[in-house]
Amino acid sequence: MGLGREGKKEHHHIFAKKQKKQKQKKKKKVRVGFVKTVIEKKYVLVTGGVVSGLGKGVTASSIGLLLKACGLRVTSIKIDPYLNTDAGTMSPFEHGEVFVLDDGGEVDLDLGNYERFLDIKLTRDNNITTGKIYQSVLEKERRGDYLGKTVQVVPHITDAIQEWIERVASIPVDGKEGPADVCVIELGGTIGDIESMPFIEALGQFSYHVGPGNFCLIHVSLVPVLNVVGEQKTKPTQHSVRGLRGLGLTPNILACRSTKALEDNVKAKLSQFCHVAAENILTLYDVPNIWHIPLLLRDQKAHEAILKGLNLLGVAREPDLQEWTARTRVYDILHEPVRIAMVGKYTGLSDSYLSVLKALLHASVACRRKLVVEWVAAGDLEDVTATEAPDVYKNAWDLLKGSDGVLVPGGFGDRGVQGKILAAKYARENKVPFLGICLGMQIAVIEFARSALGLHDANSTEFDPETSHPCVIFMPEGSKTYMGGTMRLGSRRTYFKVPNCKSAKLYSNASFVDERHRHRYEVNPNMVPQFENAGLSFVGRDETGRRMEIIELPSHPYFVGTQFHPEFKSRPGKPSALFLGLIAAASGQLDAVLQNYGNESKLLPNGISNGKPSVKTYQNGNAIKSSNGSLNGVYSNGNGVHH
């Protein structure tokens, strides 16, 4: 039965009203400078071609920073096409470190880059994986939400991806009300990967759905130079763009990774074959450190190309990167080294400890020191290595003894534990500044029990379930059956129980701090009185007073262990308090730091003084103002630390 003329008119009127409402929902008012402007939600997609590991994450972060410097509010999404629900169960060897968010999300390390560059706090939903998408669609199917339809990749999976992006892009991440102006989306993997096909299809539909002027695609590709010829080769990028266009996406901007700046004739060739304007072809050539990348993009007018593609040229201002530039210059001229021994088991891959390296770097720049990380494989310090490979054993101990400070990061499993215990013992007995994080703190407690209390079989039940002196025990709420998402995760509050301790002073005499956690085991509270009687102080605890969070050795210049991971909230302008303490102690500046920080006003819960981004440095009375940034070995010499 038809609607009739009046019915049709009414139906058309209702549909038009619905569309108008949806469009109005999309728009929001924002104040940029002093002009009130209506900005529709804008999206920037960053894809990669030719090879993986080109630095899409750093590029996406730098673009976000550049847009933020133009006065826009920015959020970020990382798409990982793997089937894992999250990064929590993946080995650091496989995928680099697992970055932990405030809400307990275990996510890809690129989200750490976004947080550091943009000084924002993301949520677990800002990391989209194939596993999450399929899980949500299958849950809907089981509930009967699809009303008996055949559930398919197109349209159900692709629709779920688009809905997820739109929903997450509206979550404020910068502490202000209302959604951001621009959402930067990074698609993991390389164009052509089978696993990323549903995402490519969804993003092609999404670009059409949001309409022209609201979507800008930046394709990061490789322009290699063959040593024999010495010529920059464009063919890999041509093929990559052809593949992208064949999948329904057309790049607005090409960001070309190469050892040197692209020659004009190479740009002209790429423009001709890839159908991208020559002024929209950017070179991301090798630089001393990646704090230069946003400046590199600005100098090539990348912001103008992006703003033009998003119809924001009349709204945004010129990028203000003064503080960023000043910080980059300071970093470039540092020459007096501070050597930190990193004693861990994933030393073959620096990405395994990426946030720890960043936190060390932020603190080093604040103390005007050039960071040198000495990688020490924990197993190489053990007696068994002395027998099997004496040269390796000697080299490891030489590195440890030649360092100004020792850091034992977090980890899981019993490999290298004895070596870490020996490193903690060396630092404690020789008054070398020491910072133990998560497992590193537990190691320090075990070593103290064995050496100071004479409990030679003291151990963690993680390594020896039958130990007669369990210093570290499994948490009551943990699960031994399911590995994923069952740890104590995310931001938890730590209360200082000893007001005058070094940790409290470094946190500007705060009464509590909120830091991020990721652990299954904890210090046995029943043994705490024994430890404290022997001189080990548990200065920070949770709200119950039964969960140990921070240890200190008052008789030592700087011997600190934390159950939480302070590295996850470190920023270039706001170095983590305890990392700052380690670097300051290792470079002879701790007293000055404690004096300065002890006199400052109380900290806010995020561990940053009054929420202000400035940080004092303690040499020549200089101070560096805040900027946002990060470091990643892609654009440096491979270790991402010193050059």
> Quick one: residue 118, left, alpha or beta (phi over 0 = left, psi -120 to 50 = alpha)?
alpha
Name which of 383, 309, 375, 303 is nearest 345 in CA terms: 375
Backbone angles phi, psi at 344, to 5 degrees: -145, -175
Give the end-to-end CA distance of the chain in Å, rounded to a whole number. 77
* Alpha carbons 57 and 507: distance in angstroms, whole number: 31
Told to judge if 567 belongs to the known catalytic residues of this protein, a careful annotator would answer yes
CA-closest candidate to residue 182, choices 36, 323, 20, 28 = 28
Backbone angles phi, psi at 605, to 5 degrees: -60, -20
Helix 322-333 / helix 354-366 crossing angle, nearest 10 deg: 90
Give dist(CA 211, CA 374) in Å, integer.
51
Catalytic one of 303, 519, 556, 565: 565
Q: How far apart are CA 8 and CA 10, in angstroms?
A: 5
Helices (H), 436-576: 439-451, 502-506, 528-533
Nearest residue to 281 via CA among 220, 213, 225: 220
Could you confirm whether 95 is annotated as catalytic?
A: no
Angstrom distance (rounded) from CA 577 to CA 593: 10
Tell me if residue 70 is catalytic.
no
Q: Are 174 and 120 in contact (CB under 8 A)?
A: yes
Q: Which residues partner with 43 through β-bridges?
A: 183, 215
Catalytically annotated residue among 216, 256, 438, 471: 438
Question: Which of these, 338, 400, 343, lies nearest to 371 by C-alpha position?
Answer: 338
Other beta carbons within 10 Å of 598: 14
Quick check: helix, strand or coil at residue 132?
helix
Positions marked catalytic: 438, 565, 567
